[in-house]
Amino acid sequence: MCELGERLRRAREERGLSLKEAASRLALKVAVLEALEACRFERLPEPALARGYLRRYALLLGLDPEPLLSLYPAAPVSPLPPPRPKGRRLPWGLFLALFLLLGLGYGAYLLLRPSPARVVELPPEPAPKAPERYPLRVASEPPGARVYLDGFYLGQTPLEAPPLEGGRRVLRLELPGYRPVEEEISLDRPLALRYRLQALPENPGPPPQEAPASSGKLVLKVEGRSWLRVTRGGKRLYEGIPEVGAELAFDLPVEVRSGNPGAVRVILEGKDLGPLGEPGKPLTRSFP
């Protein structure tokens, strides 16, 4: 597997997404994402369209698309056709007969051909202009809100995104315990946006808390970068990428899904059970 495909696959697994889920969010076929991760570029459409798919996939996974686009190979150059093998020389008599037949056929063509049509040369179409790109800054109070642009995750506030394609875009902010914010923005110039989030009247579930280990609780100590999702009875209690060093406490029972289990230490009812799993191997573990 090439470096491009390895980066895409690792980022997707850290987010806990299957190929089918990612393809559904992007409205693409699963075969397109499989070809990108396997570096089977010959199975993709023309390079311009394939590079657009790669850009959208990278933004969905929270990656900077520009380094990945630099790894996408240029269009291959068609090889020259092999030289034709030399055949046997024709006898002079046969060569002369063929020459006479060709001459007679060309003379008949000159006599019977219609008058040539007038050819009007159209000016070449101008090359499509590349879309303008503008930087985007998003801040929130309180900070730490997840930022989505047209459904693609960009990061957490305060956020300074790389230059993005301009146009009408949909911006959404989400933070557990606060009312989501969603609005349409016009990205036709560098933007710096700031939002004050409104707390919900009732929290649907216990939010993650930085608390020491205690009896009847599960504490997750984040010792490295890892995507986490915590659920109870199918209800999502937490999902995101917490800061390194954070401690998330939950009442039992819960189910934990991690994209990098080796970076998450488990303390169950005051007892240190060590890492949740092996580094870089996503898994789901239940704690009754």
DSSP 218-285: EEEEE-S---EEEEETTEEEEEE-PPTT-EEEEESSEEEEESSGGGEEEEETTEEEEESS-TT--EEE
Higher pLDDT, 100 or 116: 100
Higher pLDDT, 43 or 83: 43
Going by pLDDT thresholds of 50, 70 and 90, the confidence category of residue 119 is: low
**Mean pLDDT computed over 36-61:** 86
**Mean pLDDT computed over 113-136:** 73
| pTM of this prediction exceeds 0.85 | no
Please report where in the chains the tokens 């690792």 appear, as a residue. 10
**Mean pLDDT computed over 111-129:** 68
Q: Domain spanning 133-196: which superfamily? A: Immunoglobulins (2.60.40.10)
Q: Domain spanning 3-71: which superfamily? A: lambda repressor-like DNA-binding domains (1.10.260.40)
Task: For residue 78, give the amino acid letter.
Answer: S
How do 264-268 and 271-275 pair as beta strands?
Answer: antiparallel
* Residues 239-266 pLDDT 10s: 889 888 888 999 999 999 998 888 899 9
Cβ-based neighbours of 15, under 8 Å, separated by 6 or more: 61, 62, 227, 259
Specify the pLDDT at position 213: 41
How do 191-196 and 217-222 pair as beta strands?
Answer: unpaired
Does the fold of domain 133-196 match that of domain 3-71?
Answer: no
pLDDT at 211 over 50: no
Question: Could you tell me what percent of the chain has a pLDDT over 70?
Answer: 84
pLDDT at 203 over 70: no
Higher pLDDT, 82 or 4: 4
Task: Kindly list the domain boundaries of the chain, sorted by start residue.
Answer: 3-71, 133-196, 217-287
Specify the pLDDT at position 79: 44
Instruction: Please give the DSSP secondary-structure letter assigned to residue 15.
Output: T
First-last CA distance in the chain = 39
